[in-house]
Amino acid sequence: MQKVQVDIYGIAPSQMQGSYSLILAEQDGDRKIPVIVGQYEAQAIAIQIEGINTGRPLTHDLFLSFANKFDIKLNEVFIHLLKEGVFYSLLICESNGVVHEIDSRTSDAIALAVRFDCPIFTTEEILEASGITIDDKSIETPGRGKPDVPSQKPKEEFELYKNKSTEELEKMLDTALNNEDYMKAAQIRDEIDKRK
């Protein structure tokens, strides 16, 4: 079984309400695979890529802290199976020199991969079966300057931020973070960043 390394390319709204397509791109090629993830999983991935400080640890941050405390290393994420449109993943972990494979939802595995800064692999067979070409304009690309955290908010709400002063936005940002509304916080932060 030939492993192929993939990177997170971007996030695009899915045709299914409340879900997103997490786009993974092979490192040495043009094929991309869309993995359907929920809104919260997409948010967890984008928050880490963007370096947003949530103030309190999210579930995947807690897993990272736990692993670090007990000297468990996540060596890689391996998307090893595609069955009936569902991707199956393994966390390849190491503790005390012993390697363990742990079954994981792919969305959780990728949220952990970005926190552990470990590589993500799939198989040539999966790329052959699901690799596609994608119109880049429909993809939100975390870390590359476009809106970075998936949201179900209407466009009009984004326009409201443009009419606020920077001071008002900073207060709104503090409130959003205190309320753990990280999607709103990211949108406000993006508006503040545009003004710098």
- 116-130, 131-145, 167-181: which is most confident: 116-130
Domain 3-138 belongs in CATH node 3.40.190.10: no
> Average pLDDT of the chain?
83
Q: Residue 22: how many CB atoms within 10 A of its CB?
A: 27
Task: Name 23's bridge partners.
Answer: 10, 34
Give the model's confidence band at 91: pLDDT under 50 very low, under 70 low, under 90 confident, else very high: very high
- Identify the band that residue 80 occupies on the pLDDT scale cut at 50, 70 and 90: very high
| pLDDT recorded at residue 151 | 44
DSSP result, 128-191: HHH-B---GGG-B-TTTTS--S-----HHHHHHHHTS-HHHHHHHHHHHHHTT-HHHHHHHHHH
For residue range 92-137, what is the model confidence (pLDDT) as tens digits? Answer: 999 999 999 999 999 999 999 999 999 999 999 999 998 776 655 5
Residue 153: per-residue pLDDT:
43
What are the extents of the domains in the chain? 3-138, 155-194
pLDDT band at 148 (very low <50, low <70, confident <90, very high): very low
pTM for the structure as a whole: 0.72
Specify the range with the lowest mean pLDDT, choosing from 34-43, 111-120, 123-132, 161-170: 161-170
